[in-house]
Amino acid sequence: MVNNFALIAPEFLITGLAFLILSIDFFIRSDRQHLLAYIACSGLIGILILSLLALWNVEDNLYNGLLVIDDYSLFFKSFFLIFGVFIILSSIEYVKRHLEHPGEYYGIIVFTILAMMLMAMSGELLTAYIALELLSFGLYVLVNFDRYNPKSNEAGTKYILLGALSSALLLYGISQIFGLLGTTRFNEIHYILSTTNELSPGVLVGLIFIISGLGFKVAAVPFHMWAPDTYEGAPTPITAYLAVGSKAAAFALILRFFTEALMPAVNDWQPIIIIIATLTMILGNLMALVQKNIKRLLAYSSIGHVGYLLLGLASMASINSEGVVSLDKSHLASNAIMLHLVAYGITNLAAFLSITTIYNSIGKEEIQDFAGMSKRAPLLSMVFAASLFSLAGLPIFAGFTSKFYLFTAASAQGLLWLAGVAIFASLVSMYYYLTVIRQLYIEASPDETPIYVSKLNVALLGTLLFGIVCLGIYPSPLINILQHASDAILTLNSASQLTLSTDYAALR
């Protein structure tokens, strides 16, 4: 089979762009290094346009399925490229004021975008692992980038140590799967599991280790302990990057892996995901209630949202009392997961850009430090409040629409009680979001000096606010795109039902 390397031209160009930024940094004056951000953004936009023109409706693969090119990977490539543009633009002022070596900063961000794109394309476990490690190494450096800040050093150290542990768990799980099934390719794993009457204990152990390793990467309970300290200590734009980018990349991999490889074993992994989702939704939102630092609060909020996404993953199939697995509504669940990733991403970008802009002016990030911001920065306060309402899931905002789809998917698959837990967790989250909004609009500030907001940040905030409201009111165009992406990963399960054998069903 001849591999068509033109299919991964965007990845080659991303790599070249990262090296170009690092090279230009050697020759550009220090007072003009902010231009590197605009070079990076121009390159990412150009690669986005090229990807859409060259790969739209293309279905192919490289190296017999190691890398998969389809509408699913194209959707996530586009998401990561757009997200990267927003992260880089929202970092410009912060980098000028607080960080050194902007060339390395922007170059590493571009390398991590490459890793995210490869994760979305991976059709084999070791390829996915390598891409995940490329992403993790970049994030380790970015979290620790403010090297003279003790909090940043602490956050980076904790992140590296626990990240290494999660990588070891993941790699051990992969070795178990390969040792017992003889393959790490998703389509071959799917075939073997679909022709096996029962899942061996060894394969189940490998699967549990893989879920644990991926659980660390997305900060699902009980693998969440690194997130609050890391979010608090990292530079604020990187906190946004962790909250959105790393989770979206991990779920791009998780969704492909569970649908293309593990769907025949849904009886075994669905209960595990349900338990983790329940714990994550409840603990994440309850722990957020007592936080005093805005970044720690959003860290626990982020953990809660991982629970909602895992709820969607658990809703990929329904199982009746006779052991019959129905995949009729799998599209609904996969669409809901991707929609929530987009809605959550736009909303968190708006929230963290607001926090970053305020921090650039006052140098503080405790919740009480946001008192009276509505008078000092009306636009910032409005966008920040809208993003918190969206995270809470209130109507007309993107978070309401995406949560509605997730909870509907769970209900349609017979997981009504799990949807009830998610609704309860959302109600709990309203309290701590309103606590922040109270500071913005009700509490008085000892200092009423207006906060400067650059024209660039005004444009970014306005665009994000428009996206939050537009997606909340009229999500139909995006849903149509998501439907094509779902079709690409669910074709392997095109039969509407997988009937388990009597012996396999009896094991439950």
Q: Report if residue 212 sits inside a domain.
A: no
pLDDT category of residue 506 using cuts at 50, 70 and 90: very low
Q: Report if residue 354 sits inside a domain.
A: yes
Residue 320: predicted pLDDT: 65
What is the overall mean pLDDT for the chain?
88
Q: 200 pLDDT exceeds 90?
A: no
Q: 492 pLDDT exceeds 60?
A: no
Q: Report if residue 103 sits inside a domain.
A: no
Q: Report if residue 358 sits inside a domain.
A: yes
Q: Report if residue 352 sits inside a domain.
A: yes
pLDDT category of residue 268 using cuts at 50, 70 and 90: confident
What distance in Å separates the CA atoms of residue 240 and residue 350, rounded to the nearest whole number? 9
Q: 465 pLDDT exceeds 50?
A: yes
Which of 272, 193, 203 lies closest to 493, judged by CA? 193
Q: 505 pLDDT exceeds 50?
A: no
Residue type, 37: A
What distance in Å separates the CA atoms of residue 121 and residue 137, rounded to the nearest whole number? 19
pLDDT tens per residue across span 390-420: 999 998 999 999 999 999 999 988 888 999 9
Question: CA torsion angle for 373, 377, 382, 385 (degrees, to 10)?
Answer: -30
Three-state secondary structure string covering 364-379: CCEHHHHCCHHHHCHH
Domains contained in the chain, number: 1
Q: Are 371 and 447 in contact (CB under 8 A)?
A: no
Q: Report if residue 15 sits inside a domain.
A: no
The answer to which of 74-83, 149-158, 301-310, 331-340 has the lowest mean pLDDT is 149-158
The answer to which of 291-295, 318-322, 462-466, 477-481 has the lowest mean pLDDT is 318-322
What are the CB-based long-range contacts (under 8 Å, 24+) for 359-366?
A: 359/94, 359/236, 360/93, 360/94, 360/97, 361/451, 361/452, 362/451, 365/236, 365/293, 365/294, 365/295, 366/292, 366/293, 366/294
Residue type, 404: F
What distance in Å separates the CA atoms of residue 307 and residue 284, rounded to the nearest whole number? 8
Q: Report if residue 107 sits inside a domain.
A: no
Provide the angle, in degrees to the nearest 10, between the axes of the packed helices 294-314 and 247-260.
Answer: 10
The answer to which of 8-12, 236-240, 282-286, 444-448 has the lowest mean pLDDT is 444-448
Helices (H), 330-452: 330-362, 373-376, 378-392, 398-412, 416-441
pLDDT tens per residue across span 29-60: 877 888 899 999 999 999 999 999 988 888 88
The structure tokens 């993003």 sit at 387
**Nearest-5° Cα angle at 249, 245 to 252:** 140
What distance in Å separates the CA atoms of residue 272 and residue 258, rounded to the nearest whole number? 13
What distance in Å separates the CA atoms of residue 53 and residue 48, rounded to the nearest whole number? 9
Question: What residues make up the domain containing 351?
Answer: 262-495+500-504
Q: Report if residue 92 sits inside a domain.
A: no
Q: What's the mean pLDDT in 288-315?
A: 92
What distance in Å separates the CA atoms of residue 192 and residue 190, rounded to the nearest whole number? 6
